[in-house]
Every structure is written in structure tokens, then in C-alpha cells.
Amino acid sequence: LEARGEAKLTFFEAYNALAFQLFSDAPIDVLVLEVGIGGEWDASNVADGDVSVFTAIGLDHRKVLGDTVEEIAQTKAGIIKENSIVVSNAQEPNVERILRDRAQQACFVSGTDFALIEASVDGFGTRFSVQGSFGSYPQLWMPIIGSHQAENAATAIVAVEQFLGRAIADEVLRSALADTVSPGRMHVISKEPLVVLDGAHNPPGIQSFRRTLEEHFGAPKAIGVVGMLADKDVFSSALEFVGVFDHLIITSSQSERSMSASQLAEVFEDSGVFVSEVI
């Protein structure tokens, strides 16, 4: 490519090409493929998906996807293929309109066509019930924390239903959910003392973190250790941490994209968040 004066493959593009070659050689029966970033021009979008799935679309990766949820939705909608099925979480009206417009040659199943009936704390997990497209699933349980994760699980259940064209066998669904993990998302790595890792990296994600911290742990006296990448919406994210922690430690990772601890602490303090320590 470089010899022809073209841009060389990125690591992600090469990784995708290798992955699809492996999938072809296996061969696999079903592939669950997550977009790298955006959708329309992502390397993963060479796949011709039978079902396209959208969780809640918010502001993220604004430097490459756009400054509004509408711009971001346009790019994400690029994964929709003709004659496919689209399953979406409940979205803002403008976002749903964009997805529906792109899905005119597809079957569209929105968050109003199925329902998360209830979600509650159950130990170090979540108990919830779902009314799907083809069946009802009462009193499900998964070892993942957060009502927002129950919403995502409901969307995943309906996506599988739509792929199969029928309800999911009860014992299959319950067994699958019981084995589900989500590393780095309200991830309890120690119970005594309680230590929780969460990778929320935008304002909507931090809002879910705050709500889940209160719902599942009663908003206990908490010590927070926070670091962020410089290419995130740092100021808006910092505002979401007001009143969350009794003691807040600001730090930085070893990533080249990381914001320095001193810079991040300055942003937090400008946002009205008291910083206890910078390391």
C-alpha cells in the first residue's frame, strides 16, 4: 500500500482482517461483532450483519464522530444493512428518527416494542424481568451490577429472539445470564474491603455509575481514584463527580492519551469538585 502511495493499514484494520480470516477458517455459526468506533466507516463494517444492535447513543468520541448526538447517530446508523433487522434501546427522539430513516429497508424493533419490566438489586448482581418480542422472561438474574445493564440485557435478549425468530428457551437464557461477565463495569474485585472498578468515560456513563453506586451500595462513605484520557469530554465528566466521593484521589494512567494528574485535578477543581490528593 505504501509503495502505491496509499495509507498503510492501521493496527485495527489489520486485526479485523486477521479476525475475519480466522472466522472463515473455523468456521463459526454465529458472530457477535462489536464496532470499533462509530460504525459507517469502521473496519468492522465490511461484515454483512443479519441483526444490527444499538444501545443508548450519547456523546462520546466527539473529535471523530461529531459534536451532537444526531451526528454520532448518523455515523452509527451506517452499520444497518438492507433486509436486516435493527434492534435498538430506547433513544432520544431525534436519534430514533435517524435510525428509522436509515432502516427503511430493514425491520426496525425499537425500545418501545419490548420492555424491561423491573430491575432490582440482588446481592452482587441484578434481578430483572423482560417482555420480549416472542416471549416473557420473569425474574432473570445476572452477576452484573446496574439497572442500565438490565436495559442492555433486555436489548440483547430481543436481538437474539429476532435472530432466531422465536423465544429463547428458559433454561438456556438463565444459564447464559448467570455466566455473564462485564469486566471493568461496576466490577467488584474485592468485597472486604469493597473495591469497585468502573470504566465510565463520558457524562452518561458516569451518571449511570453514580446511580448504580447509590442503588447497589447505598452511596457509602467512598474513596474515589479517578484518571481520564485527554481526548474525552473531561469538563462535562468532572461535573458528574460533584458530591460522589468523600475523598477523591486524582491520578493518571501510563497511556499516551492520558491527561496528567495535575491537569485533571485542575479541571475537577474548576468544576467544583474537591480533590483530596493528586498522585
Q: What is the pLDDT of residues 173-214, one digit of tens each?
A: 999 999 999 999 999 999 999 999 999 988 888 999 999 999
Tell me the per-residue pLDDT of 70-115, one tens digit each, with 9 for 90 and over.
999 999 999 999 999 999 999 999 999 999 999 999 999 998 899 9
Pairing of strands 223-226, 247-250: parallel
Cell numbers 450519547 label which residue? 58
Alpha carbons 274 and 249: distance in angstroms, whole number: 10
Alpha carbons 65 and 229: distance in angstroms, whole number: 17
From residue 94, how far is each of 73, 98, 114, 115, 170 by CA, in Å? 9, 6, 20, 20, 35
Query: Closest by alpha carbon to 152, among 205, 94, 206, 81?
Result: 205
pLDDT for 219:
66
How many CA within 13 A on the CB side of residue 129? 6
CB 168 within 8 A of CB 157: yes
What the block records as the C-alpha cell of 218 is 447505598
pTM: 0.89
From residue 69, how far is each of 61, 205, 207, 237, 261 by CA, in Å? 11, 15, 17, 16, 29
pLDDT for 156:
97
User: What is the enclosing helix (H) or strand (E) of 234?
Assistant: helix 234-239
Tell me the per-residue pLDDT of 250-264, one tens digit each, with 9 for 90 and over.
999 889 999 999 999
